[in-house]
Amino acid sequence: MVHARGGICEKTLVQTLDYLVIGSYAEPRWAYEKYGRKIEKALDNKSIGKGPFIISEAHWMRAIQSTPELPAEMQTAIDVDDKPHKQRRAPKHSGPLEPEGWEKSSAEIEPLAGTTFVLTGTLSESRSFFEDMIQGLGGSVSSSVSAKTTYLLAGEEAGSKLEKALKFGVKVLNEEEFRKLVD
């Protein structure tokens, strides 16, 4: 489907990659699997301004299904010669193909863009797990609660940060509410 629309698929994460499509199923051990390493590398690249948009498989499917196929001469193909899977690139486009009428809003690509989280208490996973998830979805993480904090993710035995969040009127989420938010 990608080749029929002039796109190129990469097996590895390269700095010129436009999109990293991630599946909807994630396990707590995602960071230790080979696909988790791709997400981790993409986040590292994003932090220096060279990373791809990280999008869900559902967003990718909607985009690809609403993007018409190109004429055969503009499609990319996989040529099998002495190097298996060598790709022949299509004529240059001005940028990544986007389906007609579908705009990449920051809310679709990075649904937590513009939000700031603070974590407190005992959570079911490591703090870095939640920090990576939040940052991967465009949010930021702070170590202290302020009036600018959007959400406090509170685990068991939340202490003074919870009190401060309530004082500032910050929305407090437990893990279940957090997972619903990011889904």
123 with 99, same domain: the answer is: no
What is the reported pLDDT for 65? 78
| Order of strands, sheet of 171-173, starting from the edge strand that comes earlier in the sequence | 140-142, 116-120, 151-154, 171-173
87 with 17, same domain: the answer is: yes
Could you tell me the residue range of the domain that residue 18 belongs to?
3-105
95 with 116, same domain: the answer is: no
32 with 56, same domain: the answer is: yes
Pairwise CA distance, residues 81 & 174, whole Å: 54
What is the reported pLDDT for 170? 94
- Domain end among 37, 70, 105: 105
- Domain end among 83, 105, 127: 105
Pairwise CA distance, residues 17 & 8, whole Å: 9
What is the reported pLDDT for 50? 74
HSE of 60, CA atoms in CB hemisphere, 13 A: 16
End-to-end alpha-carbon separation of the chain, Å?
26
Reference 54, options 140, 142, 135; nearest CA is: 135
What is the reported pLDDT for 87? 41
68 with 148, same domain: the answer is: no
125 with 88, same domain: the answer is: no
What is the reported pLDDT for 146? 94
- Domain end among 84, 105, 126: 105
- Give this prediction's pTM: 0.46
- The pLDDT profile of the chain, 183 residues, written as one tens digit per residue, is 888 888 888 877 777 778 888 775 555 555 555 556 777 777 777 777 777 877 777 777 877 777 888 887 777 765 433 334 334 443 344 444 444 444 444 445 578 888 999 999 999 888 888 888 888 888 899 999 999 999 999 999 988 999 999 999 999 999 999 988 887
What is the reported pLDDT for 90? 39
141 with 173, same domain: the answer is: yes
Domain count, the chain: 2
What is the reported pLDDT for 27? 55
Strands 77-79 and 86-88: antiparallel
